[in-house]
């Protein structure tokens, strides 16, 4: 009897673990053949391939298809390969795809942030937090940002004087950590000089995904309801971010202090107890969105501070370091950057907000880096209701996850000629107009496009301009032109072995 019971249990588990595997076949859509229980994600769970590289592989394996079916464990996913379909998902038919579906049961407090929240919570947060990223706010933050760039300059100077190789991926992570801590929290993190800084330790723990994190990720997808109370983020991450936010609140007596930084804005919202905005899905009889009210308690406030820090520092660090590596191997492009920087600084006398805004070629260089290596290599959306893609026979059901493989598309010769080459001129205004719409989306598009895009670009360009105005970046003994992504990283892409480079002080500087 025991043997029969075990056999029956195994059969039931197998049926449960493969119940959706005929979904794409019935839809007439080409799909990746799944493995029982794991779907197409076994190598990802074993940390053999990153999510971005997995999607790029699927993209390459199905040329000519507008979309491809796959499975995250037993969950149905659709990989989009066509810019027009992507436009429908992100913009035209956004109300059918507004969820990201990352906080499935809404049981994890830190996941109720602007990046991963859904529905009215996301909409009201977005409406109220957008004031943090206006042009006026960015200009007022710039002197603080410039102070961090000056600290970066001091570290680079020491490396240059000592003819020292340095991992610029780590260096830029410390710079962007300090920038976010100062501009967002009003705190001098000093990560550039102190690896034990609480902000630096928190940042490293968030993105250095260990075995515990991978097991939780896997279990939540293998048995979503059973493990719904398991938190993605480890207890030490929660403890540290709550500690940071509480210490800032105490230092400001729980009130805005006139810095107009991110914490001031959050505290102002928090003291109102509730925040009000337009509902995403509820409308009155005239089609006007209803008013929606969200209680902003301490947990919700901390979740927003968490995503500002986590999403802000790591994505910028990945972008800057990749660009520096490209410049080290593309001498003519680096010289052209430096010539523009010298000209602009001669006009303004120093690095300032207006000077950074005039460095158009530097911005083109930065965008080309984002094209080749977007920090977040894919976008994710979840179908909110049954939906039929226009001009296709494909109808998908509520709950199907839609994946947009940015890395693969932005390195497809169909959209970018000689995609393996670093060619900033692609983003010259005359050329950018000819670019296929929705083929370049490092910050997303539509209502859920990255809210901190302008701040991220400003901080990155400031760091690059600070370095290139005084130094030339060159390959070191351990440098590699072709970089390999780290398969153990889940979301923001990282480079296996870091990005070692050297800085040589320029003979003529402004």
* Binding region for heme: 450
CB-CB neighbours of 250 under 10 Å: 9
Q: Strand, helix or coil at 350?
A: coil
Alpha helices in 398-452 (DSSP H): 406-410, 429-432
Cα–Cα distance measured from residue 357 to residue 335, given in angstroms and rounded to the nearest whole number: 19
Angular region, 39: left φ>0, alpha ψ -120 to 50, beta rest: left
Contact 471, 156 (CB under 8 A): yes
Contact 147, 138 (CB under 8 A): no
Nearest to 378 by CA among 359, 345, 397, 401: 401
Handedness of CA 243, 244, 248, 254 (dihedral sign): negative
Annotated binding site: 450
Cα–Cα distance measured from residue 349 to residue 141, given in angstroms and rounded to the nearest whole number: 20
Q: Strand, helix or coil at 294?
A: strand
Which residue's entry shows tokens 């779907």? 39
Cα–Cα distance measured from residue 43 to residue 54, given in angstroms and rounded to the nearest whole number: 9
């Amino acid at each position: 009897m025991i043997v029969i019971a075990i056999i029956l249990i195994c059969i039931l588990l197998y049926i449960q673990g493969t119940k959706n595997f005929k979904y794409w076949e019935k839809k007439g859509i080409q799909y990746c053949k799944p493995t029982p229980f794991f779907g197409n994600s076994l190598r990802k769970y074993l940390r053999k391939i990153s999510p971005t590289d997995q999607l790029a592989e699927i993209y390459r394996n199905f040329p000519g298809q507008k979309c491809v079916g796959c499975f995250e464990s037993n969950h149905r996913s659709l990989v989009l390969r066509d810019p027009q379909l992507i436009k429908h998902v992100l913009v035209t038919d956004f109300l059918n795809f507004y969820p990201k579906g990352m906080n499935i049961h809404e049981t994890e407090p830190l996941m109720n942030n602007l990046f991963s929240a859904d529905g009215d919570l996301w909409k009201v947060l977005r409406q109220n937090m957008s004031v943090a990223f206006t042009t006026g706010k960015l200009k007022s933050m710039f002197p603080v940002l410039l102070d961090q760039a000056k600290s970066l300059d001091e570290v680079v100077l020491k490396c240059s004087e000592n003819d020292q190789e340095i991992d610029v991926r780590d260096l830029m992570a410390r710079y962007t950590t300090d920038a976010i801590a100062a501009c967002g929290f009003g705190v001098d993190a000093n990560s550039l000089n102190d690896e034990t800084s609480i902000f630096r330790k928190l940042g490293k723990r968030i993105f250095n995904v260990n075995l515990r994190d991978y097991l939780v990720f896997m279990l939540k997808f293998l048995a979503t309801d059973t493990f719904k109370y398991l938190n993605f983020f480890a207890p030490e991450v929660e403890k540290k971010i709550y500690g940071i936010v509480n210490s800032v609140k105490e230092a400001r007596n729980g009130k805005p202090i006139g810095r107009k930084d991110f914490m001031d804005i959050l505290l102002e919202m928090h003291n109102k107890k509730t925040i009000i905005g337009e509902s995403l899905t509820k409308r009155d009889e005239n089609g006007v969105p209803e008013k929606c009210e969200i209680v902003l308690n301490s947990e919700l406030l901390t979740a927003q501070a968490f995503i500002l820090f986590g999403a802000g520092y790591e994505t910028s660090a990945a972008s800057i370091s990749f660009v520096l590596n490209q410049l080290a191997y593309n001498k003519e492009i680096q010289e052209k950057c430096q010539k523009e920087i010298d000209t602009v600084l001669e006009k303004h006398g120093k690095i300032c907000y207006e000077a950074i805004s005039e460095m158009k070629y530097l911005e083109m260089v930065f965008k080309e880096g984002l094209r080749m290596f977007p920090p977040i290599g894919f976008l994710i959306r979840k179908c909110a209701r049954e939906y039929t893609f226009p001009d296709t026979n494909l109808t998908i059901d509520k709950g199907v996850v839609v994946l947009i493989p940015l890395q693969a598309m932005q390195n497809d010769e169909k959209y970018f000629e000689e995609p393996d080459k670093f060619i900033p001129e692609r983003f010259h205004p005359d050329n950018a107009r000819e670019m296929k719409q929705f083929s370049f989306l490092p910050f997303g598009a539509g209502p859920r496009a990255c809210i901190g895009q302008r701040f991220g670009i400003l901080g990155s360009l400031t760091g690059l301009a600070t370095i290139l105005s005084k130094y030339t970046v060159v390959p070191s003994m351990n440098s590699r032109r072709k970089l390999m992504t780290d398969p153990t990283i889940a979301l923001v892409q990282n480079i296996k072995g870091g990005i070692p480079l050297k800085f040589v002080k320029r003979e003529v500087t402004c």
